Amino acid sequence: MGYRRPRRAPKPTGMPLVDSIRKRAFEFRLSMTDLDVFVGRTRYFVSPHYRDWRALQRAMAILGGRSAISWPNE
């Protein structure tokens, strides 16, 4: 009988890598709390303030991504 609101996309954090992982998790219909549980961190993806490389690597593996390095042309 009630009205169900659509889910809101996560707000940008200003860290492109973290934002892309949060966006991909949203596309897979995962909450940020669920993603935190999967990577073994407490509230990192809910409100990230720094880059936690271990959590980011685990999240990339879970979401089917891979890391790549690109160097600017010298």
- Convert the pLDDT of each residue in 39-72 to its tens digit: 999 999 999 999 999 999 999 999 999 888 888 8
The yes-or-no verdict on residue 74 having pLDDT over 80 is no
* Domains of the chain by residue range: 16-62
- Convert the pLDDT of each residue in 20-39 to its tens digit: 999 999 999 999 999 999 99
The pLDDT score that the predictor gives to residue 70 is: 84
The pLDDT score that the predictor gives to residue 2 is: 85
In this prediction the pTM is 0.85
SS3 for the chain is CCCCCCCCCCCCCCCHHHHHHHHHHHHCCCCHHHHHHHHCCCCCCCCCCCCCHHHHHHHHHHCCCCCCCCCCCC
